[in-house]
Amino acid sequence: MADTSTLDTKWPWTQPDITYHPDRQKWENRTAKRLAEDPSLTSTPLPEGFPKKLVSPLVWEGNDWKNEAQWVFTLSQDHLKEINEAVKHFRGLGLHFGHISPKTFPLPTLGPVLTSLSQELHYGRGFCVVRTIPVDSYSKEDNVLIYVGISSYIGATRGLQDANGGVLSHIKDLSSSFRPGQIGGPAYTTDKQVFHTDMGADIVSLFALEVAKEGGTSRISSSWRVYNELAEKRPDLVKVLSEDWAVDELVRFTCIMRSELISRTRWGKDPPYTNRPLLYHLDEKIIIQYARRYFTGFQGLPRSKEIPPITEAQAEALDALHFLAEKYSLGLNFQKGDIQYINNLSVFHARDDFKDDAKQRRHLLRLWQRNEDLAWKLPEPLKPLWKKTYAVTPEEQTFAIDPVIRDAVKGKN
């Protein structure tokens, strides 16, 4: 039976005063109130086995990085020629895109470099950028082919992001094309996207087909650095994060199942939620897996009233994760044609709000990936989701060439 010690069991259930977009003043007031009511919170023992401090290249602050050459690998003209030849080679094979791999998309000199970058993702700093693909020189389909081909050297196993085999997502403002309430995720708006991790991914990669006219900075932050601060100053929040939460993520889980299940699932339905921690300690590693909108809702997908609300302690923990991630974050100079890779198990990501115009509209492609040789061990509560995410066969994989809203973040209306 799930541990419900962190759930509010009083009736009527009342959600704390918390929204998707974090409010620093509310966070500070909540923190002050809780510490005034119980000063012993800061002396709470860490959960059994959890480290007092992580020491690793994965622990970093934005100020540690002085020059983007530390994380950007710039493609040479020879590399670009290899990529062009690989496109021709794969096209000549006549294969479905699900069969894109290092064997079918050969990069003789670039390939080993990309393999070493995957090592960096798993056991180095946890992020890198490959710069830059001349996207305007290729068709939509070939840009997808290049992105997937290069990325196969980073993590050859692709994860299912949507129903019917969809392993490729588009991140683009689609709010002008849909009625209010039809969008339930910030990826399809110009809104600020707060710090989070994606569900079901070891590696999250983003390919910039176009950047915003203004704003839209991509931001990342070491979750291991955030953990160290919480372990030192607020061990009670480490405890809260390591206990079960009522997670409104069933639509995410079931939308990666087969069609007979997809037809009967929506956010907050049967079963209404899962119980799991947001924070894990396994194999000497800390893993934080969460998205704020599962607890606050977003636009067309409010948090279901059928699900227990979060507690005041959980609300403070969510804000602490965001504002500490913001404090130690690094803003990336994400340029058109760049591919950004992050270790989704140790790095939070976010983006600033942005403005487009008629000629320049921010447009990214996204893959969820796994490198079977380098992959970290997963805690038991996450294994079912990962198993479903990566169960899609090459023949079942589909690649949306034009933007669509994923089923998992379609609004209720």
pLDDT tens profile 279-321: 999 999 999 999 998 898 876 667 877 888 999 999 999 999 9
- pLDDT digits over 132-149, tens only? 999 999 999 999 999 999
- pLDDT digits over 362-393, tens only? 999 999 999 999 999 999 999 999 999 999 99
Tokens 């804000």 map to which residue? Answer: 319
What's the pLDDT at 273? 82
Strand partners, 339: 130, 207
What's the pLDDT at 268? 39
- Residue 6 inside a domain? The answer is no
pLDDT-derived band at 271, boundaries 50, 70, 90:
low
- Residue 36 inside a domain? The answer is no
What's the pLDDT at 254? 43
What's the pLDDT at 257? 43
- Residue 85 inside a domain? The answer is yes
% the chain with pLDDT above 90: 75
- Residue 13 inside a domain? The answer is no
pLDDT-derived band at 182, boundaries 50, 70, 90:
low
In single-letter form, the type of residue at position 243 comes to E
pLDDT greater than 60 at residue 264: no
- pLDDT digits over 47-97, tens only? 999 999 999 999 999 999 999 999 999 999 999 999 999 999 999 999 999
Our count of domains for the chain comes to 1
Q: Answer whether 390's CB lies under 8 Å from 161's CB.
A: no
- Residue 19 inside a domain? The answer is no
Average pLDDT across the chain, whole number:
88
- Residue 11 inside a domain? The answer is no
CATH (domain of 295): 3.60.130.10
What's the pLDDT at 300? 61
pLDDT greater than 80 at residue 131: yes
pLDDT-derived band at 250, boundaries 50, 70, 90:
low
pLDDT-derived band at 403, boundaries 50, 70, 90:
confident
Average pLDDT over residues 113-140: 97
What's the pLDDT at 391? 93
What's the pLDDT at 305? 79
Range of the domain at 398: 41-409
pLDDT greater than 50 at residue 243: yes
Dihedral sign of CA atoms 103, 108, 114, 119 in order: positive
Tokens read off for 335: 């340029």
pLDDT-derived band at 266, boundaries 50, 70, 90:
very low
What's the pLDDT at 174? 79
- Residue 341 inside a domain? The answer is yes
Q: Answer whether 161's CB lies under 8 Å from 362's CB.
A: no
Tokens read off for 237: 């929040």
- Residue 4 inside a domain? The answer is no
What's the pLDDT at 303? 80
**Neighbour count for residue 201 (Cβ, 10 Å):** 26
pLDDT-derived band at 186, boundaries 50, 70, 90:
confident
What's the pLDDT at 261? 34
Average pLDDT over residues 331-352: 97
